[in-house]
Structure 1
Amino acid sequence: MSFQLYDLRVEVVVPEGDDRRILCGAKPGDYFEVRGEMISFPENQAFSMYSLGAVLPLLPAKQRCRDKNDWMWTDGLVACPDPNCPTKLKIIRLGIREFQHDETTVVALQEE
C-alpha cells in the first residue's frame, strides 16, 4: 500500500516595504526543504531554532492536505516568533512523492 506526501520548501520572506531590522539571523530567500520526514538545509545556511520551532508543527499537515477548502491548503505564511522581527516563513508545496507503507513503519495496516 502506498501514500503520497508533498515535498515542501520553507523560505524566508520579508513583507515588501518593511525595513525593520531582521533579528532571527535569516536573510530573505534563505530556505530549507522537506522530503518525507527528512529536512535538508543548503550548505552554509542555518535557521534559528525558534523560527524552526514556529514552523515545524505545521509541516506534516502541509504535506498531507488534500481538501482545497481547508485553510491548511491556502495559508502558508508563519510569522517569526520574535514580534519585533519582520520575517515570515513561507511554506511552498513543490511536488508529490509516493511512499510505501511497509517501508516507513513496522506496524501493519489493519482492514476496516
Structure 2
Amino acid sequence: MNHDDEYQLYDLKVEVFKSDDDKPMVCRHNEGDYFTLTDDDLISFPPGVKFPLYPLAAILPLLPAKQRILSPNDWMATDAVIACPDPYCGGRFRITRGELRTYRHSEQTLVPLSGN
C-alpha cells in the first residue's frame, strides 16, 4: 500500500575507534563501543556501554541529516568520521548507515501536512 505521507530514514550506528595519530583516548570512551539510532529517533546502547556527554553532544546534531537520503554531492553523504571534541583525545566516531525504513508523517506527529 502506498501512502502519500511516507518518508524514509536510515538506521545508524555510531562506533568508537582510535585515530592514527597516537593520541590516547582520554574521554572515557572505549574502542569498539557503539550506539544505534533506529525506529526514527530511538538511541540504544548495548548492555554495559556508557558514552561520555561531550562527545555525544558533538555527534547528535549530525544524526538527523545522516538518516536522510542525500544528494551524492552533499558532504554529509561522504563524511562519516567525527573527531572527539577534546583536542587532546584520539577518539573518533564512525557513523554508518543501516536499514532504510519507511515512516508515515501521520504516525509521527499531530500536525497535518496541510499545516506546513
TMscore range, shorter length = over 0.9
- Would the aligned equivalents of 1:31 and 1:41 in 2 still touch at CA under 8 Å? yes
- Number of the residue aligned with 1:76: 80
> Distance in 1 between the 2:45 and 2:29 partners?
13
Computed over aligned residues only, the root mean square deviation of the Cα atoms, in angstroms, reads: 1.5
Please give the per-residue CA displacement for 1:11-61, whole angstroms capped at 9, x wherever unaligned.
Answer: 001124x43321111111100000111100001101000010010000000
- Number of the residue aligned with 1:19: 22
> Distance in 2 between the 1:80 and 1:26 partners?
10
SS in 1 for 2:61: helix
Structure 1, unpaired ranges of 5+: none
Aligned residues: 111
- Number of the residue aligned with 2:45: 41
> Distance in 1 between the 2:9 and 2:59 partners?
17
- Would the aligned equivalents of 1:65 and 1:72 in 2 still touch at CA under 8 Å? no
- Would the aligned equivalents of 1:8 and 1:92 in 2 still touch at CA under 8 Å? yes
Structure 2, unpaired ranges of 5+: none
Could you tell me which of 65, 69, 76 is aligned with 1:61?
65
* Pairing 1:92–2:99 present: no
* Pairing 1:2–2:3 present: no
- Number of the residue aligned with 2:109: 105
2:27 maps to amino acid: C
SS in 1 for 2:9: strand
1:24 maps to amino acid: C
> Distance in 1 between the 2:115 and 2:27 partners?
47
How does the TM-score come out when normalised to structure 2? 0.90
> Distance in 2 between the 1:109 and 1:45 partners?
39
Identity %: 47
